[in-house]
Amino acid sequence: MIDNHIFILDKFNKFSIRALLVAFEKWFPEINYKVLKVEEIDSNPLPGFYYFSFNSINAKFYIELAQKLKQKKNIKIACGGPHPSARSEEMTKYFDKVCNGEGEIVLKEIVEDFESGIDGKKIYKGTKKVDLNHFDAYPKKKNLFGAIEIMRGCTFSCKYCQTPQLYKGKLRYKSIDRILDDVSFGISHNKTDLRFIAPDSASYFYDNGINILMIEKLLDKLHNLLYNKGRIFYGSFPSEINPYFVNEEFVKLIKHYCHNRRVVIGLQSASRKLLKKMNRPENIEKVEEAINLFLKYKFTVDVDFIFGLPFETSETLKETIEWIEKWHNKVRIHSHYFMPLPGSKWEDLTPTEMPEYFERFVKSLEGKSRLFGQWNTQQNIAYCLKD
């Protein structure tokens, strides 16, 4: 008889696995479960129901792991995450059950079918939108803390990104009261550094523009709850800030309430032509205005750029070089490389190879510590995704 429920944790899926553990405890409070780090799976794995969550970068690894585990008796495996959501049919070749979309509600049906021995159904679609207020941030049976998800979804529909396809529809928010509940539980376990998961920290309870009143209310209540014994990080990793919603009032709030003096802003390209093609606003001046506001209040600003974008030309590269040369002494460039991610609108496009002169330019900025990021590693992954 199979009676172990085992969730596999790695450094990339800690947020999604934590959300699944919370859901498992909600639906099955009487059932115990195990959490194993990937490196803890030995040559003689426990029989049980295994749960994987992975993105496209790690898909090959988890497929191979599943094939090894399935050679043993009494092992069933369910998977979910960005890649299984985008390639559900393909994943049924390797996994017993595949979650397509949000997993917190779908998990209940998957576990029940595992327990009942129902093998016929392979793909479980998360068609019902998850209400973040119905789920805690942290599981109670395991010591697994970290950033708190306060909103889900995105107001943009960038063509290189999986998020708009994975979390369709309106933005969803966790209420201030529920966030305070999560924070209080963390404080009771000496977790007093507060970080948040949000696609855009300036969009919390967005209301035809930035909702300063709700953001201030959230930060003020968090500040009072901590009694100056902890630190608040808002608009820094693992979140970023949409520059098109930034105003001076927002910057002052971060300065007053928060510990971070570094923020992350997305630009992606300095070419209006490319911004339009990827379905992002073309108003670069607004981005610069937001950067200057943060600089005025003594913040360090990291600006996201994606190299190797489809439709890149010598002209668009020239625009990016000129922008970076103008701003690199004021900001740091956070570099990425375009990856044709399954499920994104640009999944079938090929990266544009970086010309030698542009690569030299990028590496020279790295040498001056004005540019950082994983562009080189992502470049190798990007071409693997196309193979």
Tens-digit pLDDT profile for residues 58-83: 999 999 999 999 998 899 999 999 99
CA dihedral 143, 144, 149, 153 (to 10 degrees): -140
Instruction: Of 232, 23, 220, 46, give the one whose Cα is nearest residue 138.
Output: 23
Q: How far apart are CA 343 and CA 347, in angstroms?
A: 6
Contact status, residue 237 vs residue 264, Cβ threshold 8 Å? yes
pLDDT at 120: 87
The CA–CA distances, whole Å, from 107 to 14, 116, 124, 217 equal 17, 14, 9, 34
Domain spans, the chain = 5-126, 145-260, 261-387
Contact status, residue 136 vs residue 125, Cβ threshold 8 Å? no
pLDDT at 215: 97
Residue 125 parent element (H or E) = strand 123-126
7 beta partners: 35, 51
Q: How confident is the model at residue 386 (pLDDT cuts 50, 70, 90)?
A: low
pLDDT at 178 over 70: yes
Contact status, residue 306 vs residue 275, Cβ threshold 8 Å? no
Contact status, residue 336 vs residue 306, Cβ threshold 8 Å? yes
pLDDT at 186 over 80: yes
Could you read off the pLDDT of 101-144 as tens digits, one per residue? 999 999 999 999 999 998 889 999 988 899 999 999 999 999 99
CATH 3.40.50.280 assigned to 5-126: yes
Would the CATH topology of 5-126 be identical to that of 261-387?
Answer: no
Could you read off the pLDDT of 144-165 as tens digits, one per residue? 999 999 999 887 889 999 887 7
Please give the CATH architecture assigned to the domain spanning 145-260. 2-Layer Sandwich (3.30)
Could you read off the pLDDT of 301-331 as tens digits, one per residue? 999 999 999 999 999 999 999 999 999 999 9
pLDDT at 165: 75
Instruction: Of 89, 168, 86, give the one whose Cα is nearest residue 123.
Output: 89
Contact status, residue 340 vs residue 372, Cβ threshold 8 Å? no
DSSP 29: T
pLDDT at 387: 61
Q: How far apart are CA 163 and CA 186, in angstroms?
A: 28
One-letter amino acid identity for 97? K
Instruction: State the average pLDDT over residues 28-56.
Output: 93
The CA–CA distances, whole Å, from 229 to 187, 192, 384 equal 10, 7, 46
**Do you know the residue count of the chain?**
387
Q: CATH topology for 261-387?
A: Transcription Regulator spoIIAA (3.30.750)
pLDDT at 127: 82
Instruction: State the average pLDDT over residues 362-374.
Output: 95
pLDDT at 229: 86
Residue 143 parent element (H or E) = none
Q: How far apart are CA 10 and CA 57, in angstroms?
A: 13
